[in-house]
Amino acid sequence: MTTTAAESGDAAPIHRIVVGIDGSVGGDRALEWAAAQAARSGAVLEGHASYDPGYVFISRQEVQMSLQKALDKAAAHVAEIAPGVTFKGVTHEGAAAKDLIDASKGADLLVVGSRGLGGFAGLFLGSVSQQCALHAHCPIVIVHPSEVREHTKDRP
């Protein structure tokens, strides 16, 4: 016998879409794709921004302020392109791939850009998106920077 949330007195499940935020063109396109999907599905959109303290030579407060600015910018962009979507920003101190993989637990979807800010610009797939594709706990969408404009141009 199956019990629904209403019958058991539990609240309806919260649908979550997790998206990586890093300020890159690919990350911005992933955010746009994820916002459009959240608008269609009614999911909460969680933007996750990470930094690895081993590679940062400024204070923790400066890094946190920078990450918060990136999340604030992402929230404003989501409000502009998908006004009904609830956006939640989360910052992490650690490796982006691990943080996104951990955040994918219990999520309906993980969305990342194909390439971020680091490494080798000529690669089609970056190390974070590759690790997420291999280890995510939910379905994953990897958005190439040129894909989103075509995918969402006829949609709100």
Comparing 36-45, 54-63, 113-122, which segment has the lowest mean pLDDT? 113-122
> For residue 25, is it within any domain?
yes
- What is the rounded distance in angstroms from the CA atom of residue 136 to the CA atom of residue 79? 27
- What is the rounded distance in angstroms from the CA atom of residue 14 to the CA atom of residue 44? 7
Look over the chain and give the mean of its residue pLDDT values, rounded to a whole number: 82
Question: In this predicted model, what pLDDT tens digit does every residue of 47-102 receive, in sequence order?
Answer: 999 987 776 577 888 888 989 999 999 999 999 999 999 999 999 988 999 999 99
CATH of the domain at 76: 3.40.50.620
Structure tokens given for 134: 């291999």
pLDDT value at 29 more than 60 = yes
Its domain, for residue 58, covers: 14-82+96-149
Number of domains, the chain: 1
> For residue 51, is it within any domain?
yes
Decide if 18 contacts 111 (C-beta within 8 A).
yes
Mean pLDDT computed over 108-116: 86
Question: In this predicted model, what pLDDT tens digit does every residue of 133-144 receive, in sequence order?
Answer: 999 999 999 998
Global pTM reads 0.81
> For residue 89, is it within any domain?
no
> For residue 7, is it within any domain?
no
